[in-house]
Amino acid sequence: MVSKKNLKPGDIILSEEPIVVGPCTGCKVQCLGCYKPLETATPYIKCKGCGWPLCSPKCRGLGKKHGHPQIECAVLKTTKSARLLDYNELEKMRSHYNAIVPLRCLLLKESDPQAYADLMKMETHNEIRRNIPELWRGNQESIVNRIIFDWGLKEYTQEEVHSICGILEVNSFEIGQQGVNIRGLYPTAFLMSHDCVPNTNHVDEEGSFRLTVRASTRIEHGETITLSYAYTLQCTLKRREHLLENKFFECQCKRCSDPTEMGTYSGALICPKCKTGYVLSTNPLDPEADWKCTNLERCPGYRITSKSMQLLIDRIGHEVDGIGCNDVVAMEAFLHKYRNVLHPTHYLCLGVKLSLSQLYGRISGYLIDKLSEDILLRKQQICEEIMKVFNVIEPGFTRLRGVTLYEMHAPLMILLTRQFENHCSKSELRSKLKKVVKCLEEASVILGYEPETSSEGMMGMAAKDALVRIKDWEKILGKF
């Protein structure tokens, strides 16, 4: 997909309703109508028709196209699996959810032949996928056999169901608000190519699942419109592995081709031998290539194999996964422990720093008004450090930048208030105030595109409110 005109950040590229929506593969048990997560502990009911769990008899998704439609209920009614369902066996039900979206796609063949035809034009990568035995066999058991033999849809061929699986794996979007685990297929959004530094951002509307794609940076006429199918906060090794295993291609983008990842060093180690150079891949497009120190004068021979590198990263990654999500002390201890091993903006540090940037000022024991000057400065420093990387890997109007700009304004503002009380120079105050205003203005514009009910959307509104209050401040300062 290529731009037919010059676009500026925030411009809408496309906005469309989904062809199909439903639970992600590997999701937890959820309401088939509205996708609310259901647990044994929370009350739920069984659908009167098919017996599958629902949030309530009045669920807003009952009978709806992108919820639990009649046609689906009729099919599931004939299956044995739901009838045997026990209130204590929700967990056993889990794998059955993998087949729901494929079923919804197949049902379109009769209910909406045009949508089905559009869908079947999408890439399946069957040839590649067929040669990954684990994947193909997994789909055969948990989706193909279930739909054809258990649910009794004998009118579809096994090949057809496998193609649907491929279409979903390659083209679907993970959507929904936080805590919800759903995916959707869209009629044109799938045409966007992948880039590890995308130039668009997308949001989906709650309830309707309408997907809106906006330019996040300037996009010139003729330029390719891109999004990222990988997690931008990971290093090249991890992103390329994910793309190869899940999207079946080897990324060759600018970021992947550059050993420094465009100067962000998000995969770099500090050289254990000379302590001044960085250890980078000798060929980032080859996952088997050795890694070596950049300091050619002092340690020309220092090399490690890609295998050792991966083992090291996985081991440290496990350590990060083991840190509690509010455990500020453990996060700081982690950063301290690896300060001579990982580059300060290595992706594992970056993830921890992103968490810290949001925890300081927000959780009990670290509320913003109570923070010491040292911790306020720490929050500010972390925000500035990660922003430098986000400006490169997720430039422009992106959620990550919007949120971090908002986080950055808080310590700046509190420090400013305290300095005001301590009578520092007015010109100094004015220049600092300008910095706060800049953060808030950009944050409110970027987050203004987020749904109002999402945490980012609410942050955007808080940024607007803070700007109004600051105008009063500026008036006070203006009098001096």
**Interacting residues with Zn ion (CB under 5 A):** 31, 33-34, 47, 49-50, 55, 59, 73, 196, 251, 253, 256, 271, 273-274, 277, 293, 295, 299, 302
Q: Between 49 and 176, name the residue whose CB sits nearer to Zn ion.
A: 49
Q: Between 298 and 388, name the residue whose CB sits nearer to Zn ion.
A: 298
User: By C-alpha distance, which of 168, 158, 67, 62 is closest to 122?
Assistant: 168
Q: How far is the CB of 120 from Zn ion (least distance, A)?
A: 26
Q: Between 271 and 382, name the residue whose CB sits nearer to Zn ion.
A: 271
Half-sphere exposure of 180 (CA within 13 A, CB side): 21
Which two three-digit tokens encode residue 261? 């990842």
Decide if 52 contacts 23 (C-beta within 8 A). Answer: no
Q: Between 217 and 380, name the residue whose CB sits nearer to Zn ion.
A: 217
CA distances from 218 to 5, 232, 249 (A): 11, 19, 27
- Burial class of residue 28, CB neighbours in 10 A (0-12, 13-18, 19+): middle
Q: How far is the CB of 285 from Zn ion (least distance, A)?
A: 9
Q: Between 160 and 195, name the residue whose CB sits nearer to Zn ion.
A: 195
Exposure b/e, 67-86, CB count within 10 A at least 16 = b: bbbeebbebbbebebbeebe
Q: Between 213 and 271, name the residue whose CB sits nearer to Zn ion.
A: 271
Q: How far is the CB of 412 from Zn ion (least distance, A)?
A: 34
Decide if 38 contacts 55 (C-beta within 8 A). Answer: yes
Q: Between 289 and 461, name the residue whose CB sits nearer to Zn ion.
A: 289
Region at 26 (left for phi over 0; alpha for psi -120 to 50; beta for the rest): left
CA distances from 245 to 60, 229, 380 (A): 36, 12, 38
Q: How far is the CB of 298 from Zn ion (least distance, A)?
A: 6
Q: How far is the CB of 243 from Zn ion (least distance, A)?
A: 7
Q: Between 226 and 380, name the residue whose CB sits nearer to Zn ion.
A: 226
DSSP string spanning 270-304? EPTTTSSSEEEES-TT-TT--EEES-TTT-TT-EE
Q: How far is the CB of 276 from Zn ion (least distance, A)?
A: 7
How far apart, in whole angstroms, are the C-alpha atoms of residue 392 and residue 345?
12
- Burial class of residue 410, CB neighbours in 10 A (0-12, 13-18, 19+): buried
Q: How far is the CB of 244 from Zn ion (least distance, A)?
A: 11
Q: How far is the CB of 226 from Zn ion (least distance, A)?
A: 10
User: By C-alpha distance, which of 8, 132, 156 is closest to 75?
Assistant: 156
Q: Between 196 and 237, name the residue whose CB sits nearer to Zn ion.
A: 196
Q: How far is the CB of 448 from Zn ion (least distance, A)?
A: 29
Decide if 451 contacts 205 (C-beta within 8 A). Answer: yes
Instruction: Show the CA angle centred on residue 388, arms to residues 386 and 392, nearest 5°.
Output: 110
Q: Between 158 and 282, name the residue whose CB sits nearer to Zn ion.
A: 282
How far apart, in whole angstroms, are the C-alpha atoms of residue 192 and residue 113?
24
Q: How far is the CB of 72 from Zn ion (least distance, A)?
A: 7
DSSP 8-state class, residue 146: I
Which two three-digit tokens encode residue 202? 């997308």
Q: How far is the CB of 52 from Zn ion (least distance, A)?
A: 6
Q: How far is the CB of 384 from Zn ion (least distance, A)?
A: 26
How far apart, in whole angstroms, are the C-alpha atoms of residue 182 and residue 100?
11
> Beta 193-194 vs 200-204: how paired, if at all?
unpaired
Q: Between 85 and 368, name the residue whose CB sits nearer to Zn ion.
A: 85
Q: Between 22 and 411, name the residue whose CB sits nearer to Zn ion.
A: 22
How far apart, in whole angstroms, are the C-alpha atoms of residue 389 and residue 432?
23
Q: What single-letter amino acid sits at 462?
A: A
How far apart, in whole angstroms, are the C-alpha atoms of residue 29 and residue 32?
9
